[in-house]
Amino acid sequence: MKDVVIIGAGIIGCFLAYDLSKYDLKIAVVEKNMDVASGATKANSAIVHSGHDPKDGTLKALLNVRGSRMYEQICKDLNCHYEKIGAYVLACGAEEEDTLLQLAKQAENRNIPFEVHTHQEIVSREQNISDEVTKGLWLPSTAIITPWEVSCVLMDNAIERGTELHLNTEVTSIEKMNHGYRIVTSKGEMMSKVVINCAGVHADEVTAMVNPHPGFTITARRGEYFVLDHLKDPVVSIILFPVPSSKGKGVLLVPTIHHNLLLGPTSDPIDEKENVDSTKEGLAEVREKMHKLIKNVPMNQVVRTFSGNRPSGSTHDFVLEEDDLNPGFLICGAIESPGIASAPAISEYMIEHFVSKRLQLLNKNNLPALVLRQRLLSEMSDTERNDKISKDSRYGKIVCRCEQISEGEIVEAIHRNTPVLTLGAVKRRLRPGMGRCQGGFCEPLVLKILARELKLSLNEIVLEEAGSNVLLEKR
Amino acid sequence: MELTCITCPKGCTLTIELKEGKILSIQGNGCPRGIQYAENEILHPVRMVTSTIQVIHGIHDRCPVMTSKPVAKEKIFEVMKEIHSLKVEAPVFVRDVFIHDVAQSGADLIATRSVQLESSFSNEKK
Amino acid sequence: MKTVDLVIVGAGAGGLSAALAAWNAGIRDILILEKENDTGGILNQCIHTGFGLHTFKEELSGPEYAERCAMMLKDTDVNIQCGTMVLSMTKDKILTCSSAEHGLEKIQARAVVFASGCRERSRGAIQIPGSRCAGILTAGTAQRYLNIDGWMCGKRVLILGSGDIGLIMARRMTLEGAKVVAVAELMPYSNGLPRNIKQCLDDFGIPLYLSHTITQIEGKHRVSAAVLSQVDEHLQPIKNTEKRFEVDAVLLSVGLIPENTILEEAGALIHPKTRGPVVDEQCMTSLDGVFACGNSLHVHDLVDFVYAEGQRCGQGAAAYLTQSLKQEKCVQVGAAGNVSYVLPQILHFCDAKLFFRVKTPMKNCAVVLKSGTKELKKMKKISLLPSVMEEITVTKELLEQCEDDLTLEVTSWN
């Protein structure tokens, strides 16, 4: 019997596993995909919003403000990337300026640092700002992170503290028992006193397994993005938002931790929750809309397009609750934007309001030391790096030319606590394949290393999910 | 009729005058090999075949091979069949002959790369 | 810090040829740094024949060509260090590199030749809509999987782009038992050599769809189908021309880009069209004593041309090291009319060759070299293709007549 089973290893599931594993509890995380952080967590704008935007009185407002204040310390503790680069909300014309000033008021009420700047002031900082922009709301506490990196390190720690992680394991049904729940998965069954549903776009379906009328539905909203290569002269050094509309935050420009530039997203409701195809129309929309904010974007430097589906809820707020009919069945649903920013606060909220009511939370004795993010060779001094190579020469063998990643680092990543089973997982840990060649050179090498370390044949290695094998037949 | 000469990367367009299956004239060739090509192509077209074969105990898993001369076009897949069933031991030296008269094509199948013995195996032999 | 007279980055055809030329010109302290465990570069996976007619007067496979190049250095003391990736270079020619054997090393070079090849344009760069599932590979990656590792990445294949690698892979996959359903090309003409259209597609009845592109890729985990659409004169897909092909792999052969990130980061001027560095007739970049050749300078159609350019580059680097490189007056050379690019972009007053490519195919044309408005040289060409690199020679005497920068222009012959 488990104390807690968490369904879904996105950033919410990972934070919950991390936080709950500090207590003396038996925890399992069940994830249907082959890697953690492989739903909405891997395809979003990667921003820790300051919390100025959500409407007063919503969970989004409460938890975004709180989450935004928690991140810096968490990332510092885990050695994860966090950069407070700041953001502008940009208004074009009088009507948008009104909305902008309302947002400024909201920021003020929430004790979020802000300044209102004129076109001139904005241009003096960011020279490529569009001529149409008339005013900007400067939000210096807005930060960027790499959401899948944070998720992996949180999970590394949860596992270090005894949490079980079951990847490639899909929950097929849940049955309420006398003292808890029986969770039936594609890989077997488990019993648990408490279930936390963090199933992203599928949270409504998972709730429906125990309650035929879940009280909320989830629509997947597809967001499409462009990714630009690292540029010698970056287009922008901070995040740019248009003023928000009913459809969401609009098309943004976001410099990433690794010096790429994200352009997007669109926001289109789609029927198939798992469909993350790019569309001609979506990409055209991003191209068109970004011109409102920026000029001189070198679109010939696009290295990739991607899209991600955000779980958009029918209640227009996060659904954080215990199911009416099912004590101990907890729901983290509809975690759309600002979900990443709110994630640590969502976990804290769920534990404080619900988990603590169902389980006794006693601190674990002898909590192991924190597992930190893997330190890369590029972050080491030459001496340290040579020391590493002399102990294991594979750290000298560079596999990925674009991102300069060594075989040793890849092997190290594969054998960390959170399993690395796919090419996509290697890419999310260390970035080989995210550079300008997009894996053209390194993919065959990474594939061989992965097959060797996992003791699999080359044709058994997949890109992401089961069935996405790269190679078919040996000659 | 017109043919693209495939003898060299220049790819000359050859204009051939034919009468009752016989060649009356060939024009457009940049060198004498164009004439030879056109004659072959009309009477009995031939092609080089290249592929790779499996190597055991080598520093590489595959060794590239080619036919020692162009083979009749209709023989290409028969040659491939023989290539597929072949497996050799390292070391291999460039131009080693693996199969004489492969698929009765008149050409030999030869290595186009040397493949050294993998060091762990060469050590064992010492 | 280790100091070396000449460091060459890359041991493919360009790097090996540059090394031999520099050795023959008297340079004795030469180090080649190669990222792979073997010399030869991309030639090792180009197992088809057709290489070497100019250089070796024989038709060789890529690996054999590479082996010949390496053999020619056998009697020299050129030092080749394989398994070594160059990570960065400063303006003062200090290279940082990493290898399993020597760890992280810094090397001070007196001269550097970049012969680091090119990379393939990826799917992201051309933004094909649809699924991002497995089974979408660049043709070169598929070639590596098949020819080096011995694995097939698909059994029913659609190829986008009619560059030579795409055409060669169409034949290669067919020989290995796959069904290549079609090759699609965005432009109204092929970017591959005519002989490859003939022997790689026509021989096997593989259709070539000109003025077509992929407008959708379907598939959940692996490709299940791809949709081709015809494009109009603005290269935009035309509605209701869709053809759907059930395939399990899509190979992309949509262009090559010179690989010179390190040069760019060191501050070398990069030409927007070639995407390689701006060079003079000795292949010297805008950084003093730093040279480039082969596909890292501009994408070549024949390895023999890479070899020849490597020779010029090696000689240039040797001349630089022995201080016999003339740094007299120079002029800039630009492209006009139907010329897509011309190389070198800087000419000193000496006998030299200009290499150029046209933007679109043209018949009966005039190749005109001008200084300002003054015509210096004019030649007639029956046919020019974007896939075929052309050359024109200039002499010292001719250049001495020029008062202004040069332009090379291709127009129709009147």
C110-136 pLDDT, tens digit per residue, is: 999 999 999 999 988 888 999 999 999
Best CATH choice for the domain C332-412 from the list 2.60.120, 2.40.50, 2.60.40, 3.10.20: 2.60.40
In angstroms, the CA C311 to CA C305 distance is 10
Taking an 8 Å cut-off on Cβ atoms, the answer to whether C199 and B47 are in contact is: yes
For chain C, give the mean pLDDT: 95
Looking at chain C, the domain(s) classified CATH 2.60.40 span 332-412
Do B37 and B56 fall into the same domain? no
Structure tokens at A438: 């997009």
In angstroms, the CA A430 to CA A410 distance is 7
Q: What are phi and psi of C189, to 5 degrees?
A: -135, 160
In angstroms, the CA C235 to CA C213 distance is 9
In angstroms, the CA A48 to CA A337 distance is 10
User: What pLDDT is attached to residue C323?
Assistant: 85
Looking at chain A, the domain(s) classified CATH 3.30.9.10 span 87-140+219-310
pLDDT band at C326 (very low <50, low <70, confident <90, very high): low
From the list A276, A303, A385, the residue facing C122 with the nearest CB is A303
Alpha helices in C25-163 (DSSP H): 62-71, 123-126, 139-144
| DSSP label at residue C327 | -
C367: helix, strand or coil: strand
In angstroms, the CA A148 to CA A420 distance is 13
Do B104 and B55 fall into the same domain? yes
Residue with token string 């067919």: C174
A336: helix, strand or coil: coil
A385-430 pLDDT, tens digit per residue, is: 999 999 999 999 999 999 999 999 999 999 999 999 999 999 999 9
Task: Give the 3-state secondary structure percentages of chain A, helix then strand then coil, rounded to 5.
Answer: 35, 25, 40
B69: helix, strand or coil: coil
User: What pLDDT is attached to residue B122?
Assistant: 57
Structure tokens at A337: 């934007």
**Phi/psi class of residue C318: alpha, beta or left (left: φ > 0; alpha: ψ in -120 to 50)?**
alpha
C-alpha separations of A472 from A1, A213, B50, C309 in Å: 41, 44, 21, 39
Q: Is the pLDDT of residue C325 over 80?
A: no
Residue type, A11: I
CATH topology of domain A377-460: Arc Repressor Mutant, subunit A (1.10.10)
- The β-bridge partners of B117 are B58
In angstroms, the CA A227 to CA B20 distance is 62
Chain C residue numbers with beta carbons less than 8 Å from the beta carbon of A475 are 146, 150-152, 176
Within 8 A by CB and 6+ apart from C43, the residues are C12, C13, C51, C62, C63, C65, C66, C303
pLDDT band at C369 (very low <50, low <70, confident <90, very high): very high
In angstroms, the CA A366 to CA A357 distance is 25
pLDDT band at A111 (very low <50, low <70, confident <90, very high): very high
How many residues comprise chain C? 414
CATH class held by domain A2-41+147-217+315-358: alpha beta
Do B35 and B57 fall into the same domain? no
Task: Choose the mutation target among B50, B71, B77 for the interface with C, i.e. most C CBs under 10 Å.
Answer: B50
How many residues comprise chain A? 475
What whole-number percentage of chain A has pLDDT above 90?
95
C203 touches chain B (CB under 8 A): yes
pLDDT band at C66 (very low <50, low <70, confident <90, very high): very high
In angstroms, the CA C50 to CA A441 distance is 24
B54 touches chain A (CB under 8 A): yes
Q: Is the pLDDT of residue A337 over 80?
A: yes
A54-95 pLDDT, tens digit per residue, is: 999 999 999 999 999 999 999 999 999 999 999 999 999 999
B76, closest residue in chain C (CA to CA): C175
A474, closest residue in chain B (CA to CA): B54
**CATH number listed for the domain at residues C2-119+256-325:** 3.50.50.60
Do B66 and B108 fall into the same domain? yes
Q: Is the pLDDT of residue B121 over 70?
A: no
Structure tokens at C177: 């038992």
Q: Is the pLDDT of residue A435 over 80?
A: yes
Q: What are phi and psi of C230, to 5 degrees?
A: -75, 150
C164-199 pLDDT, tens digit per residue, is: 999 999 999 999 999 999 999 999 998 888 889 999
Q: Is the pLDDT of residue B126 over 60?
A: no
CB A6 within 8 A of CB A17: yes
Q: Per the omega criterion (within 30 degrees of 0), is the bond before C272 cis? A: no
According to CATH, the superfamily of the domain at A87-140+219-310 is D-Amino Acid Oxidase, subunit A, domain 2 (3.30.9.10)
pLDDT band at B124 (very low <50, low <70, confident <90, very high): very low
Structure tokens at C312: 């010029």
User: What pLDDT is attached to residue A11?
Assistant: 98
pLDDT band at C222 (very low <50, low <70, confident <90, very high): very high
Q: What are phi and psi of C147, to 5 degrees?
A: -85, -25
Q: At what angle do helices C62-71 and C13-24 cross, to 10 degrees?
A: 20
The stretch A110-134 carries a mean pLDDT of 96
The stretch A301-319 carries a mean pLDDT of 94
Backbone CA torsion sign across B102, B106, B110, B112: negative
User: What pLDDT is attached to residue A426?
Assistant: 98
Of C213, C207, C225, which is closest to residue C170 (Cα–Cα)? C207
Residue numbers of the domain that contains B74: 50-125
Taking an 8 Å cut-off on Cβ atoms, the answer to whether A277 and C127 are in contact is: no
Q: Is the pLDDT of residue B12 over 90?
A: no
A155: helix, strand or coil: helix
The stretch C302-323 carries a mean pLDDT of 96
In angstroms, the CA C270 to CA C277 distance is 4
Residue with token string 């432009």: C187
B82 touches chain A (CB under 8 A): no
C272-292 pLDDT, tens digit per residue, is: 999 999 999 999 999 999 999
Q: Is the pLDDT of residue A455 over 90?
A: yes
Looking at chain A, the domain(s) classified CATH 3.50.50.60 span 2-41+147-217+315-358
In angstroms, the CA A156 to CA A371 distance is 7
The stretch B14-19 carries a mean pLDDT of 91
What are the residue numbers of the active site of A?
A: 49
CB C5 within 8 A of CB C111: yes
For chain B, give the mean pLDDT: 91
Do B103 and B55 fall into the same domain? yes
Structure tokens at C386: 């974007």
Taking an 8 Å cut-off on Cβ atoms, the answer to whether B4 and C197 are in contact is: yes
Chain B residue numbers with beta carbons less than 8 Å from the beta carbon of C61 are 50, 64, 66, 112-113
Give residues 257 to 296 of C whose Cβ lies within 8 Å of B.
Answer: none
**CATH number listed for the domain at residues C122-252:** 3.50.50.60
CB A189 within 8 A of CB A443: no
CB C352 within 8 A of CB C312: no
The stretch A349-362 carries a mean pLDDT of 98
Query: Between B1 and C136, whose confidence is greater?
Result: C136
Which other chains touch chain B, taking contact as 3+ CB pairs less than 8 Å apart?
A, C
C181: helix, strand or coil: strand
Do B22 and B64 fall into the same domain? no
Looking at chain C, the domain(s) classified CATH 3.50.50.60 span 2-119+256-325, 122-252
Count of domains observed in chain B: 2
Structure tokens at B28: 């457009």
Query: Between A28 and B33, whose confidence is greater?
Result: A28
Structure tokens at C332: 């800039």
Structure tokens at C143: 């070639």
Structure tokens at A475: 């000659």
